[in-house]
Amino acid sequence: MEAAPSHIDFESQEFHELFASLYPRLVAYARHYGATFPEDIAQEAFVILMQRGGPIEHPIAFLYGTIRNLSLTERRPKKNQNISLDANLIDPGKEPDAENVLLNREVRERMRALSPHFREALWLFVVDGLSIREIAEIMKIPEATVKTRIFRAKAQLREQLNPNGGIHAMA
Protein backbone atom coordinates (compact mmCIF):
# COMPACT_ATOMS: atom_id res chain seq x y z
CA MET A 1 0.00 0.00 0.00
CA GLU A 2 1.36 3.41 -0.91
CA ALA A 3 2.25 5.78 1.88
CA ALA A 4 0.18 8.91 2.17
CA PRO A 5 1.74 12.23 3.14
CA SER A 6 1.11 13.56 6.64
CA HIS A 7 0.06 16.94 5.23
CA ILE A 8 -2.40 16.73 2.37
CA ASP A 9 -3.14 19.48 -0.13
CA PHE A 10 -6.81 18.79 -0.83
CA GLU A 11 -6.65 20.69 -4.13
CA SER A 12 -3.73 18.65 -5.47
CA GLN A 13 -3.76 15.91 -8.07
CA GLU A 14 -2.15 13.67 -5.43
CA PHE A 15 -5.23 14.00 -3.19
CA HIS A 16 -7.58 13.23 -6.08
CA GLU A 17 -5.55 10.11 -6.91
CA LEU A 18 -5.56 9.08 -3.24
CA PHE A 19 -9.33 9.56 -3.10
CA ALA A 20 -9.88 7.58 -6.32
CA SER A 21 -7.73 4.68 -5.12
CA LEU A 22 -9.08 4.54 -1.55
CA TYR A 23 -12.76 5.34 -2.04
CA PRO A 24 -13.88 1.88 -3.33
CA ARG A 25 -11.95 0.15 -0.53
CA LEU A 26 -13.39 2.46 2.11
CA VAL A 27 -16.90 1.84 0.80
CA ALA A 28 -16.25 -1.93 1.00
CA TYR A 29 -14.92 -1.50 4.55
CA ALA A 30 -18.06 0.42 5.58
CA ARG A 31 -20.17 -2.28 3.95
CA HIS A 32 -18.12 -4.86 5.89
CA TYR A 33 -19.40 -3.16 9.05
CA GLY A 34 -22.99 -3.37 7.85
CA ALA A 35 -23.39 0.32 7.00
CA THR A 36 -26.71 1.13 5.36
CA PHE A 37 -25.17 3.90 3.26
CA PRO A 38 -21.48 2.97 2.88
CA GLU A 39 -20.85 5.49 0.08
CA ASP A 40 -22.07 8.33 2.30
CA ILE A 41 -19.90 7.15 5.18
CA ALA A 42 -16.80 6.98 2.96
CA GLN A 43 -17.46 10.51 1.70
CA GLU A 44 -18.06 11.75 5.23
CA ALA A 45 -14.72 10.28 6.32
CA PHE A 46 -12.95 12.33 3.64
CA VAL A 47 -14.85 15.45 4.73
CA ILE A 48 -13.78 14.86 8.34
CA LEU A 49 -10.17 14.43 7.16
CA MET A 50 -10.40 17.71 5.23
CA GLN A 51 -11.91 19.59 8.18
CA ARG A 52 -9.33 18.35 10.65
CA GLY A 53 -6.75 21.01 11.45
CA GLY A 54 -3.07 20.21 11.37
CA PRO A 55 -1.10 17.33 9.93
CA ILE A 56 -2.20 13.73 10.44
CA GLU A 57 0.55 11.17 10.95
CA HIS A 58 -1.23 8.29 9.18
CA PRO A 59 -4.07 9.68 7.02
CA ILE A 60 -5.04 6.28 5.57
CA ALA A 61 -5.34 4.74 9.02
CA PHE A 62 -7.27 7.85 10.10
CA LEU A 63 -9.75 7.31 7.25
CA TYR A 64 -10.24 3.63 8.08
CA GLY A 65 -10.69 4.45 11.76
CA THR A 66 -13.24 7.13 10.90
CA ILE A 67 -15.12 4.68 8.64
CA ARG A 68 -15.14 2.13 11.45
CA ASN A 69 -16.48 4.63 14.00
CA LEU A 70 -19.11 6.08 11.67
CA SER A 71 -20.29 2.62 10.62
CA LEU A 72 -20.51 1.37 14.18
CA THR A 73 -22.36 4.51 15.24
CA GLU A 74 -24.81 4.09 12.36
CA ARG A 75 -25.55 0.47 13.23
CA ARG A 76 -25.89 0.88 17.02
CA PRO A 77 -29.67 0.46 16.91
CA LYS A 78 -29.11 -2.73 14.88
CA LYS A 79 -26.36 -4.13 17.12
CA ASN A 80 -27.81 -7.66 17.25
CA GLN A 81 -27.18 -8.15 13.52
CA ASN A 82 -23.92 -9.64 12.27
CA ILE A 83 -21.33 -7.57 10.43
CA SER A 84 -21.72 -8.16 6.71
CA LEU A 85 -19.03 -9.86 4.68
CA ASP A 86 -20.87 -9.48 1.39
CA ALA A 87 -18.25 -7.12 -0.01
CA ASN A 88 -16.70 -8.54 -3.14
CA LEU A 89 -13.31 -10.16 -2.53
CA ILE A 90 -12.51 -10.03 -6.26
CA ASP A 91 -11.17 -6.87 -7.91
CA PRO A 92 -14.17 -4.76 -8.99
CA GLY A 93 -12.81 -4.38 -12.54
CA LYS A 94 -12.37 -8.12 -13.12
CA GLU A 95 -14.99 -10.63 -14.08
CA PRO A 96 -14.90 -13.48 -11.55
CA ASP A 97 -14.49 -17.00 -12.88
CA ALA A 98 -16.53 -19.89 -11.45
CA GLU A 99 -13.67 -21.23 -9.31
CA ASN A 100 -13.00 -17.82 -7.72
CA VAL A 101 -16.71 -17.32 -7.06
CA LEU A 102 -16.90 -20.66 -5.23
CA LEU A 103 -13.69 -20.06 -3.28
CA ASN A 104 -14.69 -16.51 -2.33
CA ARG A 105 -18.13 -17.69 -1.22
CA GLU A 106 -16.57 -20.42 0.92
CA VAL A 107 -13.98 -18.07 2.43
CA ARG A 108 -16.67 -15.46 3.26
CA GLU A 109 -18.78 -18.17 4.92
CA ARG A 110 -15.80 -19.34 6.95
CA MET A 111 -14.84 -15.78 7.89
CA ARG A 112 -18.29 -15.30 9.42
CA ALA A 113 -17.38 -18.01 11.93
CA LEU A 114 -14.32 -16.06 13.13
CA SER A 115 -14.61 -13.77 16.13
CA PRO A 116 -15.21 -10.14 15.12
CA HIS A 117 -11.71 -9.15 16.35
CA PHE A 118 -9.98 -11.81 14.24
CA ARG A 119 -12.22 -11.13 11.25
CA GLU A 120 -11.56 -7.38 11.26
CA ALA A 121 -7.77 -7.73 11.60
CA LEU A 122 -7.62 -10.31 8.81
CA TRP A 123 -9.93 -8.27 6.56
CA LEU A 124 -7.87 -5.10 6.94
CA PHE A 125 -4.63 -6.99 6.32
CA VAL A 126 -5.61 -9.28 3.44
CA VAL A 127 -8.44 -7.49 1.64
CA ASP A 128 -7.52 -3.85 2.25
CA GLY A 129 -3.75 -4.42 2.29
CA LEU A 130 -3.09 -2.25 5.33
CA SER A 131 0.11 -2.52 7.35
CA ILE A 132 0.24 -3.96 10.85
CA ARG A 133 0.90 -0.44 12.19
CA GLU A 134 -2.15 1.01 10.39
CA ILE A 135 -4.38 -1.81 11.64
CA ALA A 136 -3.12 -1.29 15.20
CA GLU A 137 -3.95 2.39 14.94
CA ILE A 138 -7.43 1.73 13.54
CA MET A 139 -8.28 -0.94 16.11
CA LYS A 140 -6.51 0.95 18.93
CA ILE A 141 -4.52 -2.11 20.01
CA PRO A 142 -0.78 -2.94 20.11
CA GLU A 143 0.92 -4.13 16.90
CA ALA A 144 1.77 -7.47 18.54
CA THR A 145 -1.93 -8.06 19.19
CA VAL A 146 -2.72 -7.36 15.53
CA LYS A 147 -0.09 -9.90 14.45
CA THR A 148 -1.50 -12.48 16.87
CA ARG A 149 -5.07 -11.93 15.67
CA ILE A 150 -4.07 -12.25 12.01
CA PHE A 151 -2.04 -15.39 12.72
CA ARG A 152 -4.88 -17.01 14.69
CA ALA A 153 -7.51 -15.98 12.11
CA LYS A 154 -5.45 -17.54 9.33
CA ALA A 155 -4.93 -20.70 11.38
CA GLN A 156 -8.67 -20.97 12.10
CA LEU A 157 -9.55 -20.41 8.44
CA ARG A 158 -6.99 -22.98 7.35
CA GLU A 159 -8.48 -25.50 9.81
CA GLN A 160 -12.06 -24.73 8.70
CA LEU A 161 -11.25 -24.95 4.99
CA ASN A 162 -9.29 -28.18 5.36
CA PRO A 163 -9.82 -29.91 8.73
CA ASN A 164 -7.85 -33.01 7.61
CA GLY A 165 -4.69 -31.06 6.79
CA GLY A 166 -2.91 -31.06 3.46
CA ILE A 167 -3.88 -28.81 0.57
CA HIS A 168 -7.45 -27.56 0.25
CA ALA A 169 -9.19 -28.81 -2.87
CA MET A 170 -9.97 -25.24 -3.97
CA ALA A 171 -6.58 -23.73 -3.12
Same domain flag for 42 and 116: no
Show the domain range for 13. Answer: 1-87
Answer yes or no: is pLDDT of 141 > 60.
yes
Report if pTM > 0.85.
no
Q: In total, how many domains does the chain have?
A: 2
Burial of 26 (0-12, 13-18, 19+ CB in 10 A): buried
Same domain flag for 101 and 51: no
Same domain flag for 30 and 104: no
Same domain flag for 77 and 149: no
The predicted-structure confidence for 4-60, as pLDDT tens digits, reads as follows 444 566 677 877 888 888 899 999 888 888 788 889 899 888 888 888 777 778 888
Same domain flag for 82 and 158: no
Same domain flag for 109 and 134: yes
pLDDT band for position 101 (50/70/90)? low
Same domain flag for 83 and 98: no
Same domain flag for 100 and 69: no
Please give the single-letter amino acid code of residue 19. Answer: F
- How much is the pLDDT for 10? 63
Contact 59, 6 (CB under 8 A): yes
Same domain flag for 169 and 127: yes
Domain of 105, CATH number, reads 1.10.10.10
The predicted-structure confidence for 49-88, as pLDDT tens digits, reads as follows 888 777 778 888 889 989 988 887 776 554 434 444 444 4
